[in-house]
Amino acid sequence: MIYPVFLPHAGCPFQCVYCNQRVSVSCGNQGSGLAAFVRMRLADYAGQVRSSGRPGEIAFYGGTFTALPCGLVEEILSGAAAFVHDGIFTGVRFSTRPDCMAPRVVEMLASYPVRVIELGVQSLSDSVLEKSGRGYGAETVFEATKRIKRQGWDLGVQLMAGLPGDNRELFMRSVRKALEIGADFLRIYPTLVLEGTALADSYRKGLYAPLSLDEAVALLAPAYDLALGAGVPIIRMGLQADRALEEPGAVLAGPYHPAFGSLVKCRWWQDRVDSRLAALEKLPGDELIVHVAQNQVSDAIGHRKSNLLHWQKKWGLSAKVVGDADLTGMEISWKTKSSNRDISL
């Protein structure tokens, strides 16, 4: 269980070119002082936990938590720690920027029950970071991650696809490096053009072109594959559907889809079966029967049966997907009907 407290733009040293949490997150501090708002949210969640009996981590998302004034961070963490001590929360997690994890900040955090830190890394390419105006380079990320890992905190890495200056190769290199530096989990967001951002101005002037939905999905499918291979979960792909994001004009352009992560998983199945089929002899009249774990059936079929249609068109096979109780993970087995071949991969 995670009990999130959203603090849009709180502590941010400046507004990043692509970011406007006022149009991407509908809940958060709505005017009361930050400390009072957090106290109120903690008390609300504590009440919920007492009645549900389901403790969980308290999470401070949005903004740059460790760039808030030090006294305020300590006040918030002390309040959360008291609930952790009482068994209401199991620990604290928060998101922050890599350049806001200086040694003195880490030292201060070490006396509180921090469990997980999510770094808004966005890219591990110096040129992309520079063109995106992030204000730090990859080396700063590496230093911050070392400090986090040394404390034994779990490390979440947030990456973005389609930032200014980014391309497929640089993005995949960022994903690889994020895995190498010990990310315990990833979040990957395709860059959207949100109203009220510098990117929106660039887009209007024709200086920035976002990825299309199809390009973004095709880009994230191999990233998902890399992370799966490394045993590192991607806990979110694409911004969480939110009523603020759905407001007319909030997203000017870019690959927004409320079920973006599901589209990526569908594409991953499509690519996976394609790569196996490419290596197989296909016989006239073969029917492709893809067996997958029960919980993978809808992703394997694809959004509106897109994968079945794709395989039929690309390979000239009639295709179906069936759930198989003997399969538990992401494995596939398939039969090609006419030749009665049964191939496990």
Nearer to ligand SF4, 64 or 336 (CB): 64
Rounded CA gap, 337 and 340, in Å? 5
Nearer to ligand SF4, 29 or 64 (CB): 64
DSSP code string of 100-147: G--HHHHHHHTTS-EEEEEEEEE-S-HHHHHHTT-S--HHHHHHHHHH
Stretch that binds ligand SF4, among 11-19, 125-133, 168-176, 193-201 (CB under 6 A): 11-19
Nearest-approach distance from CB 21 to ligand SF4, in angstroms: 6
Nearer to ligand SF4, 102 or 330 (CB): 102
Q: What is the separation, in whole angstroms, between the first and last Cα of the chain?
A: 35
Instruction: Indicate the residue type of 179.
Output: L
Containing 8, the helix (H) or strand (E) segment is none
97 binds ligand SF4 (CB under 6 A): yes
Nearest-approach distance from CB 85 to ligand SF4, in angstroms: 30
Nearer to ligand SF4, 134 or 265 (CB): 134
Nearer to ligand SF4, 11 or 91 (CB): 11
Per-residue mark of binding to ligand SF4, 103-122 (x: CB under 6 A): -----------------x--
Q: Which of 7, 19, 220, 290 binds ligand SF4 (CB under 6 A)?
A: 19
Nearer to ligand SF4, 55 or 63 (CB): 63
Nearest-approach distance from CB 100 to ligand SF4, in angstroms: 9
- Beta strand spans in 20-61 (E): 56-61
Stretch that binds ligand SF4, among 13-21, 135-143, 178-186, 334-342 (CB under 6 A): 13-21
15 binds ligand SF4 (CB under 6 A): yes
Rounded CA gap, 326 and 315, in Å? 27
Please, which of residues 56-75 interact with ligand SF4 by CB under 6 A?
A: 63-64
Nearer to ligand SF4, 96 or 296 (CB): 96
Residue 193 — φ and ψ, nearest 5°? -95, 100
Nearer to ligand SF4, 88 or 188 (CB): 188
Bridging pattern class, strands 251-253 and 89-96: unpaired
Nearer to ligand SF4, 64 or 145 (CB): 64
The candidate with the shortest Cα–Cα distance to 175, out of 133, 145, 219, is 219
Residue 65 — φ and ψ, nearest 5°? -55, -45
**SS3 call for 5:** strand
Bridging pattern class, strands 287-292 and 332-336: antiparallel
Stretch that binds ligand SF4, among 15-23, 196-204, 251-259, 335-343 (CB under 6 A): 15-23
Nearest-approach distance from CB 287 to ligand SF4, in angstroms: 49
164 binds ligand SF4 (CB under 6 A): no
Look-up: residue for tokens 């998983």?
265
Nearest-approach distance from CB 45 to ligand SF4, in angstroms: 22
318 binds ligand SF4 (CB under 6 A): no
Rounded CA gap, 299 and 263, in Å? 8
Nearest-approach distance from CB 86 to ligand SF4, in angstroms: 30
Nearest-approach distance from CB 270 to ligand SF4, in angstroms: 32
**SS3 call for 222:** helix
- Beta strand spans in the chain (E): 2-6, 56-61, 89-96, 114-122, 154-161, 185-190, 193-194, 234-237, 251-253, 287-292, 318-323, 332-336, 341-344
Binding positions for ligand SF4, rule: CB under 6 A: 9, 12, 15-16, 19, 21, 63-64, 97, 120
